[in-house]
Structure 1
Amino acid sequence: MIRDVRLDDAKAITEIYNHYIDNTVISFEEVLIEPSDMTKRIQAVLAISLPWLVLEENGIVLGYAYATQWKARSAYRFVVEVSVYLESTQGGKGLGTQLYEALFTKLKQMDLHVVIGCITLPNPASVHLHEKFGLEKVGHFANVGRKFDAWHDVGYWQVIL
């Protein structure tokens, strides 16, 4: 079941996200966060009326996807950046696709023009997912993130709705 996020999802979402902080370069954050931090992030997204969705099964959160404001300046108000995270054992089951289908359905109903995805490279699964939703690679920044004693590239994908 995919539904809108609730503040009481923050603990489960934090557990999912902290895996990526601690074990991958998918997130460039390096310090684990607390559920209170995630609650603030959820509140910030909801405060600007953007969607944050969770996928749960039998009451267990297996993943989430959301859109955030891309940049703060007014001219960018029609552009959002999207993200999706799955519980570490749930990849390859189509859950990311389900979350993005629901998220993109909501985004298309809003007064938005562009959706952007930022991907640490290499990450073929994420590239495939974003391209499945029509996003095309529009930029590549070499060696812009340093994590786990190595430099990492970032690519930007976008789609015009």
Structure 2
Amino acid sequence: MMATTTTTTSSTTLTVRPSRDADIPAITALYAHHVRTGTASFEEIPPAEAEMAERRAGILARGLPYLVAESGGRLAGYAYAGLYRTRSAYRFTLENSVYVDAGMARRGVGRALMGPLIGLCEAAGYRRMVAVIGGTDNHGSIGLHAACGFRPVGVLPGMGFKFGRWIDSVLMERPLGDGSASVPAEIRPPQS
């Protein structure tokens, strides 16, 4: 089980903890902002709270982590890991998602979330984490993932069409634990 952690960056104090049902309204609002204003998500219509709750429940039902960061009692960001693909050969590979409140950008929220997220996934026996980043101009997300040990592995040009333009998908990945250096044991669901 993940313990709640408190981190102080140069400009803010953050508490990172497992998400709760009560976080859904704030998570929904934060994500809606990204859907409406950015290319981090290729969704074009923000999902309702019920849909966001269902998505979170699906992640948790698989024993995967879904974390939030708070600052001053307010949601500063959230991150989770989901299956990269559903075919059985991909069972050791996860895809991460991380969203930060626009007012908290560049204050260490993403890094504060990614460290525990990666640690929980490694502890569970997963071997790879993939980031699928919307837009080659999404320097914040690309930089965050590079700082967390991800390396670029490709760009899929023009994969999405949003805001009247074609948007690339940037693929980055990092090993978890031994990566592909050894034969994995079966997955132990993380306790978040």
2:144 aligned to which of 101, 112, 129: 129
Look up the match of 1:47: 61
Question: Once the two structures are superposed, what CA deviation does each residue of 1:63-93 show, in whole Å capped at 9, x if it has no partner?
Answer: 1010011111111110000111011111010
Look up the match of 1:79: 93
| Offset of residue 135 of structure 1 | 0.8
TM score, norm. by length of structure 1 = 0.97
Look up the match of 2:34: 20
Task: Provide the rounded CA distance (Å) in 1 between the counterparts of 2:77 and 2:148.
Answer: 18
What pairs with 1:81-96 in structure 2 (closer than 5 Å)? 81-96=95-110
2:156 aligned to which of 141, 151, 155: 141
Q: Does 1:102 align with 2:145?
A: no
Higher RCO (CA < 8 A, seq sep 6+): 2
Task: Provide the rounded CA distance (Å) in 2 between the counterparts of 1:99 and 1:72.
Answer: 25
Secondary structure of 1:64's counterpart equals strand
Question: Once the two structures are superposed, what CA deviation does each residue of 1:22-70 show, in whole Å capped at 9, x if it has no partner?
Answer: 1111111001111111000100000000000001123321110100111
Q: Does 1:29 align with 2:43?
A: yes
Look up the match of 2:187: none
- Deviation beyond 4 Å, 4+ runs, structure 1: none
Q: Does 1:111 align with 2:125?
A: yes
Considering only CA atoms, is the larger Rg found in Structure 1 or Structure 2?
2
TM score, norm. by length of structure 2 = 0.82
Please provide the CA RMSD for this pair: 0.9
Could you tell me the percent identity over the aligned residues? 34
Structure 1: 5+ residue runs without aligned partners? none
Structure 2: 5+ residue runs without aligned partners? 1-14, 177-192
Question: Once the two structures are superposed, what CA deviation does each residue of 1:107-156 show, in whole Å capped at 9, x if it has no partner?
Answer: 12111010000112211111111011111111211111000110011110
Q: Does 1:155 align with 2:155?
A: no
Secondary structure of 1:89's counterpart equals helix
Look up the match of 2:20: 6
Query: Which amino acid is the alignment partner of residue 140 of structure 1?
Result: V
Query: Which amino acid is the alignment partner of residue 128 of structure 1?
Result: G
Task: Provide the rounded CA distance (Å) in 2 between the counterparts of 1:148 and 1:124.
Answer: 18
